[in-house]
Structure 1
Amino acid sequence: MKLPRWIAPVLLVAVLGAGAGLAYQSLTRRDVAPQVDYVLLDGSTKNSSAAWPGKVMLVNFWATSCTTCVHEMPQVIATHQKYKDKGFDTLAVAMSYDPPAYVANFAESRQLPFGVAIDNTGEIAQRFGKVQLTPTTFLINKRGEIVKRFVGAPDFAALHQTIEKLLAES
């Protein structure tokens, strides 16, 4: 039996349409931030699933030995100060290889105004996709979805625009 000539173009359009739909879904779907437990320098224990919902979060993986991290920290502080009263928070996660005394000294001498956790076991970095390079920063929306991942120092002007958009979302 011979198929009508119009079948091939119709099937091609159907296959292309399905592929485009799947591609669009993958572009609009965001990864959910992992649930992590962490201990802050003050000794308090936190859980991301309890502390982060409803907030726009900046999670910054850094090290005291990382010159880019040290250089960007004043901008991370300024970003935190600018948006902290609007539903924004920051967590600085020191890498497992960073000596805790160095981290504590850095946080105290720079008067870091946000939570600082030491990832002693590397589990937090592992859960965030095997973070190895510093700085690596994640921007997380109020629904707990990772909106942006920066490896290296972010463009802070663009970051601020994105934060403002995320804060405006309900």
Structure 2
Amino acid sequence: MNKLPRWTGWVVLGVALAAGAGFAFKGSLARDVAPPVRYVLLDGSHHESQQAWAGKVMLVNFWATSCTTCVKEMPEVVATYQKYKDKGFDTLAVAMSYDPPAYVANFAESRQLPFKVAMDSTGDIARSFGQVQLTPTTFLINKRGEIVKRFVGEPDFNALHATIEKLLAES
């Protein structure tokens, strides 16, 4: 019978624990990268996120005209866009696939939404962002294209603004 020294088990356990701690630490620092998506704006123009969002802090807001919280938060989303748009910040409002395009266009025009509004007619954008189904769901993306925060429901806009300012200050 081949016997290993008694301390061998402790060494193996220590190495395994250290490796696990290393993975856990690395995982806590790693951020998900925003998925590359193609989208069509209300004006019919086609865009790709990798080119359109490069080097910007992005707010991607999934919403619907039938969502009361979405309608309620939209003035704050507009105010956030207006406050930071000249500093490297942009916003894309993504209308859910079940939202009739005429309703979305009417909402965007009547509320004078100043940022880009995309129709997710096929649901591909929502699927790309992790099967978004609840509205509003909002993603904050840094200049490197990493998802920094995901909000389900209306965000705390004061906290959101503080985070945007930190992200805009990053190089």
RMSD: 1.2
Deviations 1:74-130 (A, max 9, x none): 111111111101000000000010011111111111111100011111111111111
| 1:121-132 to 2 correspondences below 5 Å | 121-132=122-133
* Structure 2 length-normalised TM: 0.94
1:34 is matched with 35
SS at match of 1:72: helix
1:16 is matched with 17
* Structure 2 unmatched runs, 5+: none
1:59 is matched with 60
Calculate percent identity across the aligned residue pairs: 78
CA distance in 1, matches of 2:123, 2:5: 61
1:79 is matched with 80
Tell whether 2:110 aligns with 1:117. no
State the Cα distance separating 1:135 from its structure 2 match.
0.4
CA distance in 2, matches of 1:82, 1:58: 13
Which stretch of structure 1 is more off in the superposition, 15-24 or 88-97?
Answer: 15-24
1:106 is matched with 107
1:94 is matched with 95
Q: How many residues align structurally?
A: 170
CA distance in 2, matches of 1:94, 1:88: 20
State the Cα distance separating 1:162 from its structure 2 match.
1.0
Deviations 1:31-89 (A, max 9, x none): 11111111111222111111001000000000000001001111111111111010000
* Structure 1 length-normalised TM: 0.95
Amino acid at match of 1:165: K
State the Cα distance separating 1:20 from its structure 2 match.
0.6
State the Cα distance separating 1:9 from its structure 2 match.
3.0
2:155 is matched with 154
SS at match of 1:149: strand
1:166 is matched with 167
State the Cα distance separating 1:2 from its structure 2 match.
4.6
State the Cα distance separating 1:7 from its structure 2 match.
3.1
